[in-house]
Structure 1
Amino acid sequence: MQLEFHQVDAFSERPFAGNPAMVYRLDRWLSEELMQQIAAEHNLAETAFVVPDGEQWQIRWFTPTTEVPLCGHATLASAHVLFEVYNVPGERLAFQSKSGPLSVSREDGRLLLDFPRIDPQPLREQLPVAQALGCPVVEVLQTKELLVVLESEQAVRDCVPNMAEVAQLPGLGVIVTARGETHDFVSRYFAPGIGIPEDPVTGSTHCCLIPYWAGRLDKTELRAFQCSSRGGELFCRLEGERVKIGGYARRVASGTLHL
């Protein structure tokens, strides 16, 4: 069996920046075990698999170690591949996922994710978050991840977490964030417990970052930057119970997997 794959740098206009994702466009689902093995073989933060479903698409995402319920950058990458490689017509793609309906549309030369809004809630228990991150924290909230507010952009950039301790904290991972110097806010994301020590650019974490910072800054359109070593810019908008997350994408490789 031969399967075609495409590697895309999401949330970047240039290669070797943003967040790389591998994309497979399948005619039908492979076994869960095989998809996990393929994701481990590529060893990127996410490998996405998409299957046509009438006029829509089903999508699943795998880290090197586990399937995850939601991934922004690999959805952006999948839309880029469907539009640019497979010439899917139209300006909008509809996806069905384990997190419900999602869509990606083309707007102002960028791809725009339409994802569910997630409001972070106050953490009800004391956790050694500052110890795990190795820096003082201002506030800790919780969704499927921990959302940790730091005092400044520089504190976010300088954060050097103890990955073993971060992996012991509850949730999928830890988001650190602060008000930005040239952007409305900045963030980083650490998820060693699911095989991602640090994710370069994470669309899904902005489902909770956008409503948090929209409330803090009293604005619904925001520019964000994920200040990992690769870095990536996100164009964000809060629309009621949905968030719009925009960015660029660049295909950097294509090939064939031989099984």
Structure 2
Amino acid sequence: MFQVDAFAARRFTGNPAAVVVLDHFLDDAVMQAVAAENNLAETAFVVADGHRYRLRWFTPVVEVALCGHATLAAGAVVAERLEPGRESVVFDTTSGALVVHRRGSGYEIDLPVRTVSAVPTPAALSAALGLAPLETATDGGNYIARLPTARDVRELEPDLAAVARLDRTGVVVTAVGDGPYDFVSRYFAPRKGIPEDPVTGGAHCALVPFWSARTGRETFVAHQASHRGGDLTCRLVGDRVVLGGSCVFYLEGHIDL
């Protein structure tokens, strides 16, 4: 098992992911128990399959259909530990084939765009956030709430119990960026066992088309303003989103079962 800080400029920032390398997938209950024991936003399970790899992701409480930061971390594990020097890795997943490329000292991951649709702002969402968004959209699974300023995003203290009662599995808040950033965001998903995710690749599969539709741009520098914080480069390429960032290794070891 490896623990890697993904989308991290230095250790103890970005989003920590566990990457467990197996010769075959274990029973779902065992993998879920391992993810719960790790108690990270996601644990990725990786199995070699010829020149490609199979990949699944678990939060502490549920298997998920897509996890960007843990896929980036899995790519770093393959390129730096399992097959040193490898420049790209293809992962076969429930969300299709995902490719991680080495780019200089960092990595890029190619992910599917999430369709974003405007929706009326539910009163329960404003109550959970403690303020009314300027506009609200959904990517199907999450609400996306645009707030007035980057400061509002950074200082937000949502009612997580109320967020968990919403009719979506999570809430992304976002605003025009400050400093070097084009936009900032945070992601809350207590229903999935993640009160606040430090840096979320999947959320940016919706945030990039969301901001592209409002700016006419296709490239961005983004910051997820959690306590740990993380930076991402973002490109919209047709129906794909390419996210870039660095990975820092924190822990390597073995699991006893």
Q: Which runs of 5+ in 2 are unaligned?
A: none
- TM-score, normalised by the number of residues in structure 2: 0.96
Q: Give 3-state SS (helix, strand or coil) of 1:190's partner.
A: strand
Question: Which one-letter code corresponds to 1:165 in the other structure?
Answer: A
Bigger shift: residues 130-139 or 87-96:
87-96
1:131 aligns with 2:113: no
Asked if 1:65 corresponds to 2:61, the answer is yes
CA separation in 2, counterparts of 1:34 and 1:149? 39
Per mean C-alpha deviation after superposition, the further-off stretch among 26-35 and 212-221 is 212-221
Distance in 1 (alpha carbons) for counterparts of 2:94 and 2:20: 18
Q: Counterpart of 1:154 in structure 2: which amino acid?
A: R
Shift of residue 171, structure 1, vs aligned partner:
2.3
Count of residue pairs brought into register by the alignment: 255
Letter in 2 for 1:199: D
8 A contact 2:120–2:136 mirrored in 1: no
Taking the aligned partners of 1:192 and 1:199, their CA distance within structure 2 comes to 9
SS at 1:101 equivalent: strand
Corresponding residue number in structure 2 for 1:186: 184
| Contact kept? 1:135, 1:159, Cα under 8 Å | no
Amino acid at match of 1:177: T
* CA apart distance, 1:88: 5.2
Name the SS for the 1:257 alignment partner: coil
Aligned counterpart, 2:164: 167
Does structure 2 retain, via aligned residues, the 8 Å contact 1:24–1:48? yes
Runs of 4 or more above 6 Å deviation: none
Q: Secondary structure at the match of 1:65?
A: coil
Normalised by the length of structure 1, the TM-score is 0.95
The residue type equivalent to 2:220 in the other structure is L
List aligned pairs for 1:59-208, cutoff 5 A. Answer: 59-87=55-83, 90-123=86-119, 126-143=122-139, 144-182=141-179, 183-208=181-206
Counterpart CA distance in 1 for 2:37 and 2:184 is 31
> Shift of the alpha carbon at 1:124?
5.7
Comparing 164-173 and 64-73, the one that deviates more = 164-173
| Deviation string, structure 1 residues 73-129 (Cα, Å, up to 9, x no partner) | 100111111111112553111111111121110123220010001121122673411
Q: CA deviation at 1:165?
A: 0.4
Q: Secondary structure at the match of 1:177?
A: strand
Report if aligned partners of 1:23, 1:49 keep a CA contact under 8 Å in 2: yes
Aligned position for 2:251: 253
Residue 88 to residue 96, structure 1, CA distance change in 2 (3 Å): farther
Partners of 1:188 and 1:194 lie apart in 2 by 15
Residue number in structure 2 paired with 1:236: 234
Structure 1 window deviating more from structure 2 (104-113 vs 148-157): it is 104-113
User: Partners in 1 of 2:83 and 2:53 — Cα distance?
Assistant: 14
For the 8 Å contact 2:114–2:206, the answer to whether it is kept is yes
- State the 1:221 CA deviation: 1.0
1:58: how far off?
A: 1.0
Unpaired stretches in structure 1, ≥5 consecutive residues: none
C-alpha separation between the residues in 1 aligned to 2:105 and 2:224? 20
Secondary structure at the counterpart of residue 208 of structure 2: helix
1:47 match: 43
More displaced 10-residue stretch of structure 1: 89-98 or 46-55: 89-98
Q: Distance in 2 between matches of 1:98 and 1:124?
A: 31
For residues 184 and 51 of structure 1, the distance between their equivalents in structure 2, rounded to whole angstroms, comes to 37
